[in-house]
Structure 1
Amino acid sequence: MSSAAQPAPSMLRLHATDNVTVATRVVEKGEAAGEGVTAGARIMRGHKMAARKIAKGEPIRKFGQIIGFAKADVTPGEWVHEHNVEMGELAHDYAFAKGARNEPLLPENERATFQGYKRKHGKVGTRNYLGIMTSVNCSATVASFIGQEINRSGVLKDFPNVDGVVSLTQDNGCVIDYRGVIFDTFKRTAWGYATNPNMGGVMMVGLGCEGFQIPRFKEAYKVEESDTFRSMTIQETGGTRKTVDAGVRAIMEMLPSVNNVKRETCLASDIVLALQCGGSDGYSGITANPALGAAVDLLVEHGGTAILSETPEIYGAEHLLTRRARNETVGKKLVDIIHWWEEYTKRNNMEMNNNPSPGNKLGGLTTILEKSLGAAAKGGTTTLNAVYHYAEPVTEKGFVFMDTPGYDPVGATGQVAGGANVMCFTTGRGSAYGNKPCPSIKLATNTPIYKQMEEDMDINCGDVIEGVSLQEKGKQIFDLVLATASGKKTKSELLGYGDNEYVPWYIGAVM
């Protein structure tokens, strides 16, 4: 495809074996829709139309893959959506590691660079925040008060290398068994945020009697009080007002050390990129997601790391990832996680097809299989090097996967806890999201939503439909990742997002 934008056809065929096409604009009933087919109904942008007759029970194919089965006979030109499509049963051939390959990396002297913060633990930050973290919901208000006092005082103008003081509150931490899955997961998440390279300093505030004890946390990770780590509890400090005052004093004492950093030239191999999509639509798997995948391939070539997540949103497409697994062990770990999710949803009286959301369906996505095939495209084409559980430290380079829910704030929280220092977030319906301490680049899947929410969207990927190549768009995304890593503010940062997006996953029973 050339880089020059050209008028798009009204319907797109995405693969030679597909029996549906996708509308690039509203196609009216009776309108000629290509391939000798006339639209039998009004087809909205991003929605599907039958390109030929599809018999009852026959697979519906998009992207060359099965996205569901016809509930009844479907005639050519008919609108294809949840009224005439059902999930059905699929038997995937996982073909573990059959498509794995050794991608050549660029020599270090040829790799792209950015201006980042080199931390003592060897990681590289793209931002420099001071975080006020909480061990329990009971200390959330006090932590918020401390952050508000600092931010409205105006003192941060004297510390230009500090991106902000952010209160990362959460809604659990009390009646949890310290031997259980909730405790282990939350401990990993809290520690992951505390040591994320975008965090220059951390203060942890607790109540004092909660299940998630700060002393036990410090002992587990061998953390000592310092000029970049402080902790206190409301009960020991003497109540709300005294704790707020003590917290403000502690932050003031920490700020000079947190501010004492400077950006240095770093290699693109120091970037750990979180991949997210939210408010997806029928364009997501055609424009923004594969364009982001092209950017991921570039990042991997430059030695960097990309984390694909949201396990419910690769469900039905996992066979495309297991083929790319580095070895059978990596592939089977992903399949084991898929099976865990099947049991998890079953025991909670749910099903995997509860995702897509109503907004996804309005945008043209019919089943989770269709959504997953588009979502998996964010991961590009390189070898899957590792699979991680939620909030585990990401230590492998290249393309990796982390098990998280599909709910964006929870999924992104796990990725940031794992070490992500930049994020790319694709959206077709217009998700309002940002993250602290990890800057989030918003990629619009279609031109109308980009124009409608231009203050929120960083890049328009809708012009892929008009002829801009995925490779060219991927390079644009890659370049913006580097610029963002060097300090360029994203749209969500300029709007002030990130104070409410720390949402740890609580997997077990809340007692």
Structure 2
Amino acid sequence: MSRVLVLNSVDDVAIALDDISVGETPDGLVAAARAEVATGHKIARRAIAPGGVVRRYGQVIGRAKVDIAVGDHVHVHNLAMAEDGREAEVGVDAVPPTPLDGATFMGIVRPDGRVGTRNYIGVLTSVNCSATVARRIADAFPDNSLPAGVDGVVAFTHQGGCGGSSLSTDVELLQRTLAGYARHPNFHSILIVGLGCEANQIPDWLAKSGLETGAELRSLTIQEAGGTAKAIEAGTAIVRGLVEEASKIERQPVSAAHLTVGLQCGGSDGWSGVTANPALGKAVDLLVAHGGSAMLSETPEIWGAEHLLLRRAASQGVADRLNARLDWWRVYAERHQMELNNNPSPGNLKGGLTTILEKSLGAVAKSGSTPLNDVIGYAEPLATKGLSFMDSPGYDPCSATGQIASGANLIVFTTGRGSVFGAKPAPSIKVASNAKLASWMDEDMDIDASPVLTGTSLEEVGREIFEAMLAVASGQPSKSEALGIGDNEFVPWAVGAYL
């Protein structure tokens, strides 16, 4: 069996399937390796002159800094960012999938028709000042004390809500995020805890968001309750009643069309774009064909691969909205003296990824092949079925927080270096890109996508991921849930200044 993988016949590099030593000539190469090449890293298939483009996936991933000879290790020492190969004819690849039916899961149908995959009680905070009270209220209800059918009582705390103008971008984003959580179908009910004098006044953001307090949306402030201890006592009494009501909820079979999946990747490696991400893309195609929805996010991590999404845009308006978000990020990065075309993180680099182009091309593969039907702002309510793009930073907890606020009732997270991510109230399924990770961190990984490298088709692994989506949506705990992860990943996007 070949020890290198060529992803596209036009590629200038192959990917090492195992560690290659100097002087070895693996099948698939015409010359011996001129350097040590670790598994997942790139080795040159042809000579490339300085300034010449370098391709992987059939796409440009950079330009040669110096002469690259056949057999050279291709990485940060000889490969630089490029701006080539990103032309796009809008909508030419926007082909709707053939509709499918029959896939179901055991969901939780709320009285207004929303469908959840979990049954939590949420304790939201309007401001950082109420964080301790909210956590003490949630801590009064450990998971092992809850009745069957109630998945947990979780406090969602943050660093915002004051310290700036009540009309600032940060407050608006926070209010939008909190409102998304308040109406999320994975919550039976919500208690909002405030201090009382914060910029983020509870009545104001509820009214702005079209929300009203009632039996399943309660609120209190520490100042009105009479202080910390009295607020904890009052909040605990409220949640005790909400837990009793939540225990009466039963699951029932519903169509897979009620699934909305947030797509995430983190700690990527050279195999992420070969195994886990494209396999997740196959699962997304199945979900969309069954009438479900998926959200791709992390705008800085589609940089350099946006042309693939523009070719799938369902309309010129969708393409214009995506380009507008990319333009915003370009200005934002310049204002903060950063570059969007920076190299990937240290872990990504060690795993074999060299440029943001290479990383982005692999990341976009998570979205499958169906049309891009909408582009929405951070934490804006999802309004369109099928595949959408939600604008967000590339920081996973922040991005996933926005996806959940937009309506994701399930997260699928691919990783090559390893991740322990979880994000209540949405269960998180993690997909490993390589066999070593799947074995070494088996208590964290739900699915091993590495069989793609040994003959299993992407379609087969994609089907496995899709079936895992249905099982976890039906109540089967994911690995991160079984470990109790997900209480600390609520990270609303903060972009403004504090005054």
Could you state the TM-score of these two structures normalised by the residue count of structure 1? 0.95
Counterpart among 97, 118, 140 of residue 127 in structure 1: 118
Q: CA separation in 1, counterparts of 2:360 and 2:196?
A: 43
Whole-angstrom CA distance in 1 between matches of 2:72 and 2:343: 24
Q: 1:28 aligned to 2:21?
A: yes
How far apart, CA to CA, are the structure 1 residues paired with 2:132 and 2:413? 29
Q: Give the secondary structure class of the aligned counterpart of 1:331.
A: helix
Gaps of 5+ in 1: 1-7
Name the residue aligned to 2:55: 61
Matches within 5 A, 1:4-19: 9-19=2-12
Match of 1:79 in 2: 73
Instruction: Tell whether the 8 Å contact from 1:28 to 1:39 is kept in structure 2 after alignment.
Output: yes
TM-score normalised over the length of structure 2: 0.98
Partners of 2:269 and 2:305 lie apart in 1 by 17
How far did 1:9 drift? 2.2
Q: Describe the superposition over 1:44-82 as per-residue Cα deviations: whole angstroms up to 9, x where unpaired.
A: 111001111010000110000011110011111001001
User: Number of paired residues?
Assistant: 498
Instruction: Provide Cα deviations, 1:296-334, integer angstroms capped at 9, x if missing partner.
Output: 011111111011111111110000000000011101111
> What amino acid is aligned across from residue 119 of structure 1 in structure 2?
R
Shift of the alpha carbon at 1:355?
A: 5.1
SS at the partner of 1:66?
strand
Specify which of 242, 250, 257 is matched with residue 262 of structure 1: 250
Letter in 2 for 1:205: V
Q: Describe how 1:9-408 pairs up with structure 2 within 5 A.
A: 9-33=2-26, 34-90=28-84, 92-106=86-100, 110-151=101-142, 155-156=145-146, 159-354=147-342, 356-408=344-396
- Segment drifting more, 263-272 vs 80-89: 80-89
Displacement of 1:179: 2.5
- Secondary structure of the equivalent of 2:477? coil
Distance 2:223 2:490 in 1: 24
Query: Percent identity, aligned pairs only?
Result: 50
Task: Measure the CA separation in 1 of the matches of 2:409 and 2:302.
Answer: 23
- The answer on 1:467 being equivalent to 2:455 is yes
Q: Deviations over 1:410-445 (max 9, x none)?
A: 000010000001111000000111110000000000
The answer on 1:487 being equivalent to 2:480 is no
Unaligned 5+ segments in structure 2 are: none
Distance between the aligned counterparts of 2:250 and 2:317, measured in 1? 41
Cα contact 2:179–2:206 (8 A) shared by 1? no
The Cα offsets for residues 422-473 of structure 1, whole Å up to 9 and x where unpaired, read as 1110000001111100000000000000100000000000111111100000
Distance 2:318 2:343 in 1: 25
Tell me, in whole angstroms, the C-alpha distance in 1 between the residues paired with 2:102 and 2:340.
41
Secondary structure, counterpart of 2:475 in structure 1: coil
Matched residues in 1 for 2:204 and 2:339: separation?
37
Determine the structure 2 residue equivalent to 1:4: none
Task: Tell me the distance in 2 between the aligned counterparts of 1:425 and 1:452.
Answer: 17
1:478 partnered with 2:466: yes
Give the residue type in structure 2 aligned to 1:433.
F
Q: Which of 408, 417, 421 does residue 420 from structure 1 map onto?
A: 408
Other structure's SS at 1:68 match: strand
How far 1:239 moved relative to its partner?
1.2
Equivalent pair of 1:125/1:197 in contact (CA under 8 Å): yes
Contact 2:83–2:304 (Cα < 8 Å) also in 1: no
Determine helix, strand or coil for the equivalent of 2:414.
Answer: strand
Aligned partners of 2:97 and 2:285 also within 8 Å: no
Alpha-carbon distance, 1:185 to partner: 1.2
Deviation at 1:222, TM superposition (A): 4.1
Deviation at 1:104, TM superposition (A): 2.9
The one-letter code sitting in structure 1 at the alignment partner of 2:375 is V
1:227–1:257 contact (8 Å) kept in structure 2: no
Matching residue's letter, 2:275? T
Deviation of 1:209 after TM superposition, in Å, equals: 1.1
